Structure 1
């Protein structure tokens, strides 16, 4: 009997200790040939469905409807500025890969003067422990930031 009680409390303890880690990554590449910042936001599709209160999604059949919903969501939650002016980006679409959603954006590099600020607020409404990792790459330059609800904006000095 003692062993059974010990196992029960051990399992109960594990249930409360083990929790899911909520994270997204945003990759920003400056492509000098095309003169665009190419942006890919990666997150788990089930987290995004929770945030947008979606269920029973067929991504192939409902692609256009979901694509529009994702675009509207990003316009509200993913904000780029340069020298305190908001930058309009082009939403290119999304791709579902296994348990992940990749959201694709691009911005003309001429719209960014000398500093790019990134505010990524995705998934904060649903997950208080959400972390959004931002990675910037250009030539040999690499910068990375971790954003959360208390630290939502990161800035990158752009050297061309």
Structure 2
């Protein structure tokens, strides 16, 4: 019980700002699958600030509008290149799980990948302390790193 109280106290008085992005090559369907997890309240505030409107992404009045805003926001702040070529992310959707908002993207027509370059400055405008973690999986080989605001670029070679 004491441990739970300490964790709750730490979270209230010492908030942390972390996003997690996973980029996974799927050789069976020649695609790259991308998932991004951010705290939904941070994402909501970032969207409100960028698009100058009040939003509720947990219980949206207009889910299509929220989809459009998340798609646009993530594409502006997450830029991925495979072997030097920019990837055009196709938005699949988003979902809320506990305190996180997961957004999903896919890029079709990708066969072999030797190098993945990522620019990830999601939520940097919200929090100077923002940390963005990245996991890239190619040929079942997983490589991970993190970038701390203002650094946003990472390179993965396979």
Q: What band does the TM-score fall into relative to the shorter chain?
A: 0.7 to 0.9
1:59 alignment partner, SS class? coil
Cα contact 1:30–1:109 (8 A) shared by 2: no
1:85 match: 85
Name which one, 1 or 2, has greater alpha-carbon Rg.
1
Q: Contact 2:128/2:150 (CA < 8 Å) preserved in 1?
A: no
1:21 paired residue number: 16
Alignment of 1:1-160 (within 5 A): 18-53=13-48, 55=54, 57=56, 59-108=59-108, 110=110, 113-158=113-158
| 1:41-60 CA-partner distances (Å, limit 9, x unpaired) | 01110011111226451535
Per-residue CA deviation, residues 65-116 of structure 1 (Å, 9 max, x unaligned), is 1000001111211101234432211111111122110000112352775311
CA distance in 1, matches of 2:78, 2:151: 14
Measure the CA separation in 2 of the matches of 1:117 and 1:56: 32
Aligned length: 144
CA shift, 1:122, in A, is: 0.7
Q: Which moved more, 1:136-145 or 1:98-107?
A: 136-145
SS at match of 2:67: helix
Equivalent residue of 1:91, what SS? strand
Cα RMSD (Å) of the superposition? 2.4
Runs of 4+ in 1 over 6 A off after TM superposition: none
Question: Following the alignment from structure 2 to structure 1, what is the Cα–Cα distance between the partners of residues 34 and 148?
Answer: 19
Structure 2: 5+ residue stretches without partners: 1-8
Q: Sort the Cα spacing of 1:60 and 1:112 in 2 relative to 1 into closer, same or farther, 3 A.
A: farther
